[in-house]
Amino acid sequence: MCRAAPASVPSRSACIFSANRSPKTSSPRSSSASRMNMHNLSELQQDALLEIFNVSIGRAASAMSDMVSETINMSVPAMQFLTRKEAGDILDLKGRRRICSVAQGFAGSFSGEAVLMFPEENSLEIVRMMLGSTIPLAHLTELEQDALNEVGNIILNSCISAFADIFHEQFDTTLPEVRVGSGMEAVGVNAERQQDGVLFLHIQFGFQRRHIEGYVVFLMDMPAFANLRAGIDRFLGLIPGNPGNPG
């Protein structure tokens, strides 16, 4: 059992960082509206959450850069609230390729599972960069799975630390687990859970010679989303100039 603890976060002004959150799928407007009704996060709340994730991902990029002695830039340009079915559709529309994922459970003020995902060939490229290997792209070997586990552990713990920053408490995490399968399998879609909500982050990795896109998905139930929303409100109340803290 590991723990993600709060880290110091740069001071924030009343102007909260906002990235373009326009969905990349062709979902009808009614679908977007239903997602917002489901999770009830205002634009300000979403911007605050996105900023915190970008700060946390920056920490992961710094840790990975130290590991490979190469500057790695990472960012979260977009965040969406989707159903598991919608998230699986996005992943499977990327050429219907196999998805390589690293999953890690977490528990604190609320619990769930965080899943880092790439198309399999992208995950292999990242592993090769981490290992400095020139082996041909192929299915993951045991050594490569260990390396991918380490990448997932760094990134997922950084993302979960965003929740620790919001709630000012530690979150316990399980050991990461590598999985390979379809997008639907990666987000745990079945007949009973197609409409369960997920928090879907788009992650951009910038290496010296290549840019790679990945995803982090948080699988949570409705009470967890409600607790997250309440935590964001408390977090916003600490920022000077915001409605909850006019000072």
Q: How far is CA 97 from CA 36, 49, 93, 144, 197, in A?
A: 30, 30, 8, 19, 23
Q: Which domains, ranges and CATH numbers included, belong to the chain? A: 32-236 (3.40.1550.10)
**241 or 219, which is more confident:** 219
Judge whether residue 53 has pLDDT over 70. yes
Judge whether residue 24 has pLDDT over 60. no
DSSP 187-208: TT--TTTTT-EEEEEEEEEE-S
Query: pLDDT value at position 191?
Result: 61
Judge whether residue 189 has pLDDT over 90. no
Tallying the residues shown for the chain, one arrives at 247
**233 or 7, which is more confident:** 233
Which residues of 38-191 form beta strands (DSSP E)?
A: 73-83, 99-107, 111-119, 171-173, 177-181
Rounded Cα gap, residues 90 and 97, in angstroms:
12
Q: How far is CA 158 from CA 87, 114, 161, 180, in A?
A: 22, 11, 5, 22
* CA-based nearest residue to 22, from 9, 32, 13: 32
Judge whether residue 78 has pLDDT over 80. yes
DSSP 113: E
Rounded Cα gap, residues 234 and 200, in angstroms:
22
Rounded Cα gap, residues 247 and 245, in angstroms:
5
Judge whether residue 38 has pLDDT over 60. no
Query: pLDDT value at position 240?
Result: 52
Averaged pLDDT score across all residues of the chain: 78
CB 153 within 8 A of CB 159: no
Query: pLDDT value at position 79?
Result: 92
- What is the CB neighbour count within 10 angstroms for residue 228? 23
Judge whether residue 74 has pLDDT over 70. yes
Rounded Cα gap, residues 77 and 79, in angstroms:
7
Judge whether residue 109 has pLDDT over 90. no
Say what the pTM is. 0.78
Average pLDDT (53-64) is: 93
Judge whether residue 51 has pLDDT over 70. yes
Q: How does pLDDT run across 136-155, given as a tens digit for each residue?
A: 555 567 788 888 899 999 99
CB 15 within 8 A of CB 185: no
Structure tokens at 135: 């082996």
Query: pLDDT value at position 170?
Result: 92
Is residue 58 packed enough to be buried (19+ CB in 10 Å), middle (13-18) or exposed (0-12)? middle
